[in-house]
Homo-oligomer: A and B are copies of this chain.
Amino acid sequence: MEPIRQAITVAFRFPVYFTTRVFAASNLVLRDVVSRARGLTPSRILFVLDEGVLRHHPTVITDIDEYCRQHADVLQRAAPVFVVPGGETVKNDPRHVADLHRVIHDAALCRHSYVAAIGGGAVLDAVGYAAATAHRGIRMIRVATTLLAQDDSAVGVKNGINAFGKKNYLGTFAPPFAVINDFGFLPTLSDRDWRGGLSEAVKAALIKDRGFFDLLERQAAALAARDMDIAEDVIKRSAEIHLAHIATSGDPFEMGSSRPLDFGHWAAHKLEQLTAHRLGHGEAVGVGIALDTTYSYLARFLGEADWRRIITLLQALGLAVYAPELSHRLEADADPACVLRGLDEFREHLGGRLTVMLLRGIGAAFDVHEIRRDVMIRSVELLKRVHEYEIPAQSQGSHR
């Protein structure tokens, strides 16, 4: 007997705002986000705050409380602001998601209530996972406070936590209800977090937009010096590229094998694990970009001049292009300490056959399904020399 063939289409829409000082009483963004939904008013909302944000912005809890008082006609704080650890800590221990579920339950949130998470990408990921699974999905508002979240992960449709030593092993695809990128939190970022945040913008430029790469090159010194006007433009452009890709790829929930937004990420995920998160995600992505760019060059897909420009830009932005863990046990690709094991872990995470994105030019990416081990080892060795001697400005012709 022929089966019944079920076909379902689900449409998701969400706005991405760029603003400054979202919890200033005069800032209407959050008010507008909640008001545009039909339903009971005032809407009940639970705020979850990244401990790192609180440390640098000690008034944020009173700001939130005051915002809710000023806008009490549309917003009702459902519980005291709940604080969670920032960075990978919140993703590494499943207890935090269990705590979030309990807080959401005790606040009696319904599926038309809101969870607003304020923090970096890791906190948005963990809170997003908890919100997506309570009542099968409570409306999630992401208030992104780091450069890395604003130009990349916060505008996407994923959430997740780490498990079994693997990055994002548990999670769901769940578009947010709204994204609010608040530039007001950026000045208190550490220099490391600032620089790390730029790597995803470089990635977006490399795979999608040569003109954006030119801009990053021209403004590299200003970006490294934390020029806010330039940074805001860069964040918006990077977010736009990510949003456009997700909307037009035809596979926003990644049911196929390709993941074009993950250029450089197989090594980055593995390096985060190998360094026990000494490298932040953005820093690891910087190294991963350098590695796959160098592989593209040594495998003769990418010209030397473009390779040189890319490595030079990463360095000009203050991003490392090498980490010692790249060289550990490099000849022993069955060893869990070998970065090359990251290729298989990446394949397993995506599913299906290995698919790695490479470059044949700046703004011109393509997929391969095989990686030559010897060429990848030579890529690591070349980056090590670049790192030790800072030689990209010199000729590397002998390595071709």
Q: Which residues of A contact B (CB under 8 A)?
A: 1, 3-19, 39-40, 101-102, 105, 108-113, 132-138, 155, 157-158, 160, 163-164, 166, 168-175, 239-240, 243, 246-247, 252-255, 257, 347-353
Contacts and interface: CB of A to CB of B under 8 A. Distances in A.
A110 B354 CA distance: 11
A39 B135 contact: no
Contacts of A155: 6
A168 to B, nearest CB: 7
Nearest to A350: B111
B18 A1 contact: yes
A208 B204 CA distance: 49
B15 A137 contact: no
Nearest to A102: B164
A291 to B, nearest CB: 23
A112 B257 contact: yes
B352 A101 contact: no
Given A134-B169, A158-B136, A11 B8 contact: yes
Contact of A164 (B105, B349, B353): B105
A133 B132 CA distance: 11
Contacts of A160: 136
B347 A110 contact: yes
A133 B135 contact: no
A24 to B, nearest CB: 15
B39 A17 contact: no
A112 B349 CA distance: 9
Contact of A8 (B12, B169, B255): B12
Contacts of A257: 39, 112
